[in-house]
Structures are given as structure tokens and as C-alpha cells.
Amino acid sequence: MQRKPKARALSLISLPLAWLLIIYIGSLFALFITSIWKIDTFTSKVIREFTLQNFIDVFTDRAYFNVTIRTLVVAISVTLICALIAIPMAFFHGASCTAQISPCLNRTRPDPTLGILFGKNLRLAHHVLPRYRFP
């Protein structure tokens, strides 16, 4: 595996990619499919018949619209707060760690997967990983 960097990179990314495609995207697809089906108002059962009425209700019914706006505000707020906390911490960690504390940041030989991730543009890699020793 050390001699085949593409195989190594593929093996490293295969499980997270499988999780993303099957669990996350699959769940979102199932949610979308159920959103285009009708709901019987009397029995509350799902009728597998195509309709866009659910999307129309989101924009015309005030209650659905308020819930949608609040959900988007919370999602955007959480994303911004996490980014405001995580990005400075990552830069501080990358700038302050020594070889004894974090050997993964200071390697003596380059990792072949970096060439695959950054391609031939190693200047970008120097900005992203400034303490990494490139050949």
C-alpha cells in the first residue's frame, strides 16, 4: 500500500464516502421522496401519489414558513459558531505544536496522499500545512 499512493488514498476515503452516500444522501433522498407524496388529511396516511402541495404549503401556510425560517436560522447560526471556534483553534494548534506533542504535523518524509489531495499545486499545500516538510 505504501508504493501505491492512489490505492492508499482510496482506502482512506472509502469508508467516509460510503457513509456519506448511503446513510446521509440516502436519508435525504428518502425524505425528498416522501415529501412529494400526498397525505390523507382524515387518516394521516401517506398516499403514494405525486404532488407538490407540500412544497406549496411551506411557502403559503404561515406556521410551516415560520418553522422553516427558524430551522434555517438555527442551522446557519450553529455552522457559524462552530467555524468561529474551530478555525482559530486549528490554526493555533498547527502553529504551536512541537514534534513531541503532535508528530503527525511534523513528518520527516512526505505523505504520498498529499500529492493526490493537492495535485501538482504544492504551494497550496504549503499554505494549508506550513510546518510540513515537502520534498
Residue (of 20, 3, 21) closest to 113 by Cα position: 3
Distance CA(113)–CA(103), nearest Å, equals 17
pLDDT at site 33: 93
Domain ranges of the chain: 1-56, 61-96, 97-135
Any idea which residue has 415529501 for its cell? Answer: 35
Distance CA(42)–CA(32), nearest Å, equals 23
Q: Which neighbouring-strand residues pair with 124?
A: none
| 3 state DSSP class of 48 | strand
- What lies within 8 Å, CB to CB, of 131 at 6+ separation is 94, 95, 105, 106
Q: Hey, what amino acid is at 3? A: R
Cell of 74: 438555527
pLDDT per residue rounded down to tens, the chain (135 residues)? 567 778 888 888 888 889 889 998 999 999 999 999 998 888 989 899 999 999 999 999 999 999 999 999 999 999 999 999 988 887 777 676 665 555 555 444 455 555 555 555 545 555 555 555 544
